[in-house]
């Protein structure tokens, strides 16, 4: 029950932080934004809200208004999980061209939760990890019933599905199954349920358990291109202070073993991890401040500070084309993935709808998820190395 309370509280807090209940009305500048609202009722619509046209001083062009979660870039545009229903009672996948044109929408995934569901593209298919809250299960298992769906990339029709039991959410991660070996890398799909790491066979959706986490819960998972490693951040909800409750582990996909780990000081929490070209980046908060640190791989030696300044806000990380993107309620920035040097940053503060909750790159273009919806961000040249 303690674990259940922790997970539910985290979901409520995260929902407030990212504004998952806020949908905004478009300004006159965005009157050409294509809408599919007729088939997706906006949750908790707020007609008084105004969509931003800048994130700080960086121009922002809203492409599609709505409440969005997981966002991935594919060969034919962007794919995003969109919350629909007056109480976020269903999710659907929206397919957007990088111009903002709506290319398609999937059928609804009823009762799937936005914060604990995810998307991934692997082997020419789109995969949806749907987590549905179900507190009627055993108290010693996760509070979500998990289902994996395989969708056709073009039509967004469901072509396969498999139930994955219970967990604390379903995080999907596309990677290379033979990364780091002499053989040709093949696309693969990993799934973290919070209590286990699974390998998913593309097409058949057959699952193989790679690791289980005992009494700990996996919060974040990350893989890097050209590396056989997966990074996991764990926390132990039953630990009694001053015992350390959070850690980061590096898992080798080839040997199915943990090759290194680092335990954080008591009171610290991992907010986000990413495997960059120079090592493992981790955003770590301790209640008083948040720091972004860079650990060597595979040793995970003492994390060195990066050029990202310490702050009170929460930081999230992603990596693309040699740049690590950092975002939070009042900051959006880019850092050199090799050196950790902060290249450029901006504060989108001043409007709650300008708060960034996710980013993705497609070619040289950058897209961000805000409380207003999905939009294109014009980033400075310093971020395009």
pLDDT band (50, 70, 90) for residue 215: confident
pLDDT band (50, 70, 90) for residue 183: very low
Which range of 133-137, 234-238, 369-373 scores highest in mean pLDDT? It is: 369-373
Mean pLDDT of 221-250: 82
- Dihedral (CA of 353, 327, 367, 343) sign: positive
Mean pLDDT of 204-227: 89
pLDDT for 385 equals: 72
Q: Is 241's pLDDT higher than 90?
A: no
DSSP for 223-287, written as a single string: E-TT-SEEEEEEE-TTPPTTS--EEEEEEETTTTEEEEEEEPPTT-EEEEEEEETTEEEEEEE-S
| Other beta carbons within 10 Å of 299 | 12
Lowest mean pLDDT, pick from 39-53, 68-82, 212-226, 346-360: 39-53
pLDDT for 15 equals: 39
pLDDT band (50, 70, 90) for residue 244: low
CA–CA separation, 176 vs 229, rounded Å?
10
pLDDT in tens, 267-292: 889 999 998 778 999 999 988 889 99
Q: Is 46's pLDDT higher than 90?
A: no
Query: For residue 184, what are its two tokens?
Result: 């040709």
Higher pLDDT, 43 or 269: 269
Q: Is 132's pLDDT higher than 80?
A: yes
pLDDT for 278 equals: 82
Q: Is 33's pLDDT higher than 70?
A: no
Query: For residue 111, what are its two tokens?
Result: 């009762």
pLDDT band (50, 70, 90) for residue 40: confident
- Residue in the structure block whose two tokens are 């040793």: 299
DSSP for 61-118, written as a single string: EEEEES-EEEEEEETTEEEEEEEESTT--EEEEEEE-TTS-EEEEPPPEETB-TTT-E
Q: pTM, whole model, 2 decimals?
A: 0.85
pLDDT band (50, 70, 90) for residue 68: very high
- Dihedral (CA of 91, 96, 102, 105) sign: negative
């Amino acid at each position: 029950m303690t674990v259940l309370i922790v997970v539910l509280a985290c979901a409520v807090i995260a929902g407030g932080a990212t504004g998952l209940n806020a949908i905004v009305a478009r300004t006159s500048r965005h009157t050409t934004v294509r809408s599919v609202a007729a088939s997706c009722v906006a949750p908790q619509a707020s007609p008084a809200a105004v969509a931003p046209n800048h994130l700080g001083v960086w121009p922002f062009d809203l492409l599609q208004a709505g409440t969005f979660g997981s966002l991935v870039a594919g060969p034919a545009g962007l794919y995003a999980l969109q919350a629909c229903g007056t109480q976020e009672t269903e999710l659907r996948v929206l397919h957007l061209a990088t111009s903002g044109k709506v290319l398609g929408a999937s059928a609804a995934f009823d009762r799937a939760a936005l914060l604990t569901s995810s998307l991934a593209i692997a082997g020419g298919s789109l995969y949806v990890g749907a987590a549905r809250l179900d507190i009627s299960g055993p108290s010693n298992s996760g509070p979500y019933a998990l289902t994996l769906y395989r969708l056709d990339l073009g039509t967004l029709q469901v072509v396969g599905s498999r139930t994955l039991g219970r967990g604390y959410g379903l995080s999907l991660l596309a990677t290379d199954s033979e990364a780091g070996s002499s053989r040709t890398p093949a696309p693969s799909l990993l799934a973290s349920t919070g209590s286990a790491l699974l390998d998913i066979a593309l097409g058949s959706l057959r699952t193989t358990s790679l690791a289980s986490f005992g009494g700990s819960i996996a919060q974040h998972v990350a893989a890097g291109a050209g590396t056989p490693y997966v990074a996991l951040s764990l926390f132990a909800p039953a630990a009694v202070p001053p015992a350390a409750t959070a850690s980061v582990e590096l898992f080798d996909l080839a040997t199915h073993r943990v090759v290194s780990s680092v335990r954080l000081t008591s009171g610290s929490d991992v907010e986000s991890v990413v495997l960059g070209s120079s090592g493992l980046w981790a955003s770590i908060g301790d209640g008083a401040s948040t720091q972004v640190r860079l650990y060597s791989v595979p040793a995970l030696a003492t994390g060195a500070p990066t050029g990202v300044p310490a702050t009170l806000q929460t930081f999230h990380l992603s990596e693309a084309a040699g740049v690590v993107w950092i975002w939070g309620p009042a900051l959006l920035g880019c850092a050199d993935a090799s050196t950790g040097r902060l290249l450029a940053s901006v504060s989108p503060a001043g409007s709650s709808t300008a708060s960034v909750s996710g980013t993705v790159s497609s070619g040289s273009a950058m897209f961000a998820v805000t409380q207003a919806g999905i939009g294109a961000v014009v980033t400075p040249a310093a971020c395009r190395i």
